[in-house]
Structure 1
Amino acid sequence: MTARIIGGYSLQNRLLIAVSVLLTVFLGLTGAVLDRAFRNSLETGVAEQLQVQIYVLLAAVDEAGGNFYFSGNLREPRFSQLNSDLYGFISSADDGELLRTASALDISYDSLGLGYDLAIGETGFGRLQMAGRGEFFVSSYAVTWENRPSPIQFSVLEATDTFEIEVANFRSSLWSWLGGLAVLLLVLQLLLLRWGLAPLRRLARDLKQIETGQSEVLDTSYPRELSAVTQNLNLLIQSERKQQSRYRTTLADLAHSLKTPLAVIQGELGGDAEARSQSRIVQEQLDRMNQIVSYQLQRAVSAGSASTLARQVSVADAAAKVGRTLEKVYADKPVTIALDIDNAFNFLGDERDLLEILGNLLDNACKYGHGNVAATAVLESAAPPRMLLRVDDNGPGISPADRDRVLQRGVRLDTLAQGQGIGLAVVVDIAASYGARVSIGDSALGGASITVVFDNIRITD
């Protein structure tokens, strides 16, 4: 069973990204609207405050002999402080500047560019840029003054520094709160997504348990939205297992049907020595047919058996079972089979496939060895788990020239080495269906060493 890379995207990440984009846009627009509303509200407040300052000037200004003067102390101290960033001017279109507050003594009135387009009783509010002093708010109010033909315009200027500081503080506070709120909402959304998608993760875990042989079917206690899926998956699992069983039964019947006529023919050929000599060619062809039938049937039975619906099989128990059987079969030789396989190794697949692999390898070792056979299993890699199974014998071994040929997939039967090609070809086919790799080397016992590396392994405590 080869390692699979799970591709595609994550539903949780997809939803989280979508919500994050939506939340960013929504909070961004909300912040922009609130920022604009605060600025407008603050500017309105400034305009109202400057209008009050104009009324202060109106209450304190008097005229004598055509000259304007402040008849009393201004209630706003900044009007009396030089460079206090609050300045007052009284002017008219005919006479120009008529009076200014003490705070504006060093300001050139002509450089301000104040216009006289206000009607009597009308108020104007805006901004102007004062050279060397920055930006100012300006509020103007036109009134009628006794017998003067042109309106008198009262203007108050105030620097925007305080306004900008308040806006900056509000903006900093606003975005800090909105940022914190966004993080909180994203965390809550992530928790909600994990809770909402928990049944899907549970379904994936249950499917993995079926794949590794820890479970037979899916649980039925799923949400309504997934119940139809799980029921259909259970039906599919049951159908696949029934189909595998039918395949094996049909192939077993086919094997019996083919072997029986062949056995009858072989029996009829077994006469006296002269008859056996005359039918030698026929007998060789019958033996070859038997080998072909055995090989192709074993190959068909193992084909597709590396199902994702695997069961967990103890490698040590399977090897012990095969070892006990072969020691009885080769009782007259005699054969010693040494097993060194940890009980923690579990094969994820069909038990019959594992028994077929072990049976062929150990049977060849017993048949062509000189009595000493060893089967060992070691952990080659822990993550992912990978087991190396090796069967050694003390026989003549397999020559390097024949190793690639007997393991090559798709090699025809008549090109295999006599007596050992069939078993190894079956091992290669079954191992390949599970993604395992087979190799041949020299054994420390003096004979052949057959190594199979499995990836479909589970380690238990």
Structure 2
Amino acid sequence: MYWKFLCVDCDRNWILNRLCSPSKPCEARAIACGQWIDMVTTRIGGYSLQNRLLVAVSVLLTVFLGLTGVVLDRAFRNSLETGVAEQLQVQIYVLLAAVDETDGNFYFSENLREPRFSQLNSNLYGFISSASEGELLRTSSALDIDYETLSLDYDLGIGNTSFGRLQTTSGSEFFVSSYAVTWENRRSPILFSVLESTDTFKAEAAGFRNSLWSWLGGLAVLLLVLQVLLLRWGLAPLRRLATDLQQIEAGQSEALDTSYPRELSAVTRNLNLLIQSERKQQSRYRTTLADLAHSLKTPLAVIQGELGRDAAGNSQESLVQEQLDRMNQIVTYQLQRAVSAGNASTLARQVNVADVVARVSRTLQKVYADKAVNIELNIDPALNFLGDERDLMEMLGNLLDNACKYGRGKVAVSAVLLSDAPPSMRLQIEDNGPGISADDRDRVLQRGVRLDTLAQGQGIGLAVVADIATGYGASVSVADSRLGGAAIVIVFDNIRVAD
């Protein structure tokens, strides 16, 4: 996989393999590293701020603790090796103090102070040798060591000390410290050498390494847990802000709380101003539309009243009356469209569907008392509509009015939950009237259709319902009713389900 970075120095795009090191200085700029880290955290942590921070901190913590572990392990090994060198140097002095010569033969004139020199398999061995004569003397512990397999430093200058590792031909590894001295009546320097097996050193180093990484691993887990807690505590105001916004969206709150940290106070203040501005703007729209409705409807009512005083049966006056009625319907329709255009707001309130349906049903049963309309209700009481209650009443009023007017005395209203995530609702109004033919179904719901081309008997109710529903992102369709007439189906997504 390859990543593409823009260099801030040469303004060129470089293609970098994620497993390779940058080959040019400009490719290693911090901007490339920052983009790479951002890309990795985005891919792994998604678009959650907490996850991105956790991933970034985990990567940095892993790198830091890993480097710390390597440095401490190396420092311990160096310290341990230095201690071995010093101990072997002391053992050389022990050999020097105990060795003597008689008639050209070396021997230990006294017991060695280091008891391991006298024990087999003690991992501590002493040799006295020269380049010209070879081995001159060895400690008791070295009786099973093949001197020929040892490569001692006979080029060491007199009075000098050497320390290092020695690998025998048999595969054994030793630390070896040598010291070259002059000896009377000897032409070649005498080399005092002390060897110690590396097994103990390796065991101590491995034990320290295991303990070190165990402690660092535990520390990493502890730091990550603390980091999670700190992030949750630090990001709590953001989560509270998101919750407050959801409450405003659900209509459970009017504004954001003001008790936020200083860093978020400007954001919350501006959001509150935006919310207030939208509410004031909606209020101004409604006031203006109400004034417009009053100014238009009053002259129309006066004209209708004057015409009503004239004798009935005049064909010209009947035509004028018919056109006035149509003008009144057009005004009502266009005002309703203007009102519903801005109602699908994120600042809507929750309206219980069952309550509104019950109120509208009771009203229409009184209006059509002469038809003895039976309205059957099947509404989930937990369903809440997010929007303006007047819009829901307008839609239900138009649909139920048509069902009562053109049905044959039986109407059914149902509202059910379709899905939980996201919650959606199907609202259905059915009647047992003549129904709507398949050819007219799309035409009566089409936006922008002329009022004088609507199907006879349907008025403008369905067009108003379609416009209001569209403003809320809902879908409206016409189907056959199980009662024998028409079924109007509206599917809403902007609902809430009560707990």
- Whether TM exceeds 0.5 here: the answer is yes
Deviation at 1:393, TM superposition (A): 1.1
Deviation at 1:25, TM superposition (A): 2.3
**Pair 1:232-2:263 in alignment:** no
1:411 and 1:48 mapped to 2: Cα distance?
102
Checking the alignment, whether the CA contact within 8 Å between 1:86 and 1:158 is kept in structure 2 is yes
Match of 1:112 among 146, 150, 174: 150
1:82 and 1:408 mapped to 2: Cα distance?
105
Aligned to 1:168: 206
**Pair 1:337-2:370 in alignment:** no
SS in 2 for 1:435: coil
The residue type paired with residue 104 of structure 2 is G
The residue type paired with residue 389 of structure 2 is E
2:157 and 2:457 mapped to 1: Cα distance?
120
Checking the alignment, whether the CA contact within 8 Å between 2:426 and 2:490 is kept in structure 1 is yes
The residue type paired with residue 86 of structure 1 is L
Checking the alignment, whether the CA contact within 8 Å between 1:128 and 1:138 is kept in structure 2 is yes
Aligned to 2:5: none
Compare 194-203 and 436-445 and name the one that shifted more.
Answer: 436-445
Deviation at 1:265, TM superposition (A): 5.9
**Pair 1:276-2:315 in alignment:** yes
2:338 and 2:131 mapped to 1: Cα distance?
110
Checking the alignment, whether the CA contact within 8 Å between 1:361 and 1:391 is kept in structure 2 is yes
Residue-by-residue CA offset, 1:102-155 (whole Å, 9 max, x unaligned): 443454434422222333322111112112233211101112222323321111
SS in 1 for 2:460: helix
Checking the alignment, whether the CA contact within 8 Å between 2:352 and 2:385 is kept in structure 1 is yes
Checking the alignment, whether the CA contact within 8 Å between 1:97 and 1:109 is kept in structure 2 is yes
Aligned to 1:133: 171
The residue type paired with residue 390 of structure 1 is Q
Match of 2:106 among 68, 84, 91: 68
Aligned residue runs from structure 1 range 41-60, under 5 A? 41-60=79-98
Q: Which runs of 5+ in 2 are unaligned?
A: 1-44
Aligned to 2:190: 152
1:424 and 1:131 mapped to 2: Cα distance?
101
Residue-by-residue CA offset, 1:198-239 (whole Å, 9 max, x unaligned): 111111111111111111112222222222222222221111
Residue-by-residue CA offset, 1:227-280 (whole Å, 9 max, x unaligned): 222222222111111111111121222233344455566667776678525984
Match of 2:160 among 122, 125, 142: 122
2:457 and 2:181 mapped to 1: Cα distance?
124
Aligned to 2:61: 23
Checking the alignment, whether the CA contact within 8 Å between 1:406 and 1:421 is kept in structure 2 is no
1:106 and 1:386 mapped to 2: Cα distance?
89
Compare 85-94 and 269-278 and name the one that shifted more.
Answer: 269-278
Match of 1:293 among 303, 327, 331: 331
Aligned residue runs from structure 1 range 307-318, under 5 A? 307-318=345-356
Q: Which runs of 5+ in 1 are unaligned?
A: 1-6
Aligned to 1:4: none
SS in 2 for 1:34: helix
SS in 1 for 2:174: strand
Compare 9-18 and 191-200 and name the one that shifted more.
Answer: 9-18
Checking the alignment, whether the CA contact within 8 Å between 1:136 and 1:158 is kept in structure 2 is yes
Give the RMSD, CA atoms, in angstroms. 2.6
Checking the alignment, whether the CA contact within 8 Å between 2:307 and 2:317 is kept in structure 1 is no
1:273 and 1:429 mapped to 2: Cα distance?
37
Q: How many residues align?
A: 454
**Pair 1:322-2:377 in alignment:** no
The residue type paired with residue 72 of structure 1 is E
Determine which structure has greater relative contact order: mean sequence separation of CA pairs < 8 Å that are 6+ residues apart, divided by chain length.
1
2:184 and 2:382 mapped to 1: Cα distance?
111
Residue-by-residue CA offset, 1:403-436 (whole Å, 9 max, x unaligned): 2332344544454323326212221222222232
Checking the alignment, whether the CA contact within 8 Å between 2:153 and 2:178 is kept in structure 1 is no
**Pair 1:10-2:39 in alignment:** no
Checking the alignment, whether the CA contact within 8 Å between 1:269 and 1:276 is kept in structure 2 is no
Aligned to 1:211: 249
SS in 2 for 1:332: helix
SS in 2 for 1:199: helix
Compare 76-85 and 238-247 and name the one that shifted more.
Answer: 76-85
2:131 and 2:263 mapped to 1: Cα distance?
81
Deviation at 1:364, TM superposition (A): 0.9
Match of 1:96 among 121, 134, 142: 134
2:135 and 2:322 mapped to 1: Cα distance?
132
1:216 and 1:310 mapped to 2: Cα distance?
10
SS in 1 for 2:386: strand
Aligned to 1:3: none
Checking the alignment, whether the CA contact within 8 Å between 1:409 and 1:429 is kept in structure 2 is yes
Deviation at 1:349, TM superposition (A): 1.1
The residue type paired with residue 276 of structure 1 is S
Aligned to 2:19: none
SS in 2 for 1:117: coil
Match of 1:356 among 394, 401, 405: 394
Compare 54-63 and 98-107 and name the one that shifted more.
Answer: 98-107
1:169 and 1:437 mapped to 2: Cα distance?
71
**Pair 1:427-2:465 in alignment:** yes
SS in 1 for 2:127: strand
Compare 214-223 and 162-171 and name the one that shifted more.
Answer: 214-223
| Pair 113,411 (structure 1): closer, same or farther in 2 beyond 3 Å | farther
Compare 341-350 and 251-260 and name the one that shifted more.
Answer: 251-260
Q: TM-score, with normalisation over the residues of structure 2?
A: 0.83
Deviation at 1:47, TM superposition (A): 0.9
Checking the alignment, whether the CA contact within 8 Å between 2:46 and 2:52 is kept in structure 1 is no
The residue type paired with residue 257 of structure 2 is D
Deviation at 1:330, TM superposition (A): 2.4
Checking the alignment, whether the CA contact within 8 Å between 2:149 and 2:170 is kept in structure 1 is no
Deviation at 1:84, TM superposition (A): 4.2
SS in 1 for 2:369: coil
Checking the alignment, whether the CA contact within 8 Å between 2:407 and 2:434 is kept in structure 1 is yes
Match of 1:394 among 423, 432, 446: 432
1:432 and 1:176 mapped to 2: Cα distance?
63
Compare 186-195 and 439-448 and name the one that shifted more.
Answer: 439-448
1:142 and 1:296 mapped to 2: Cα distance?
113
Aligned to 1:448: 486
2:390 and 2:46 mapped to 1: Cα distance?
35
Deviation at 1:288, TM superposition (A): 4.6
Report % sequence identity: 81
Deviation at 1:352, TM superposition (A): 1.0
2:59 and 2:142 mapped to 1: Cα distance?
52
Aligned to 2:497: 459
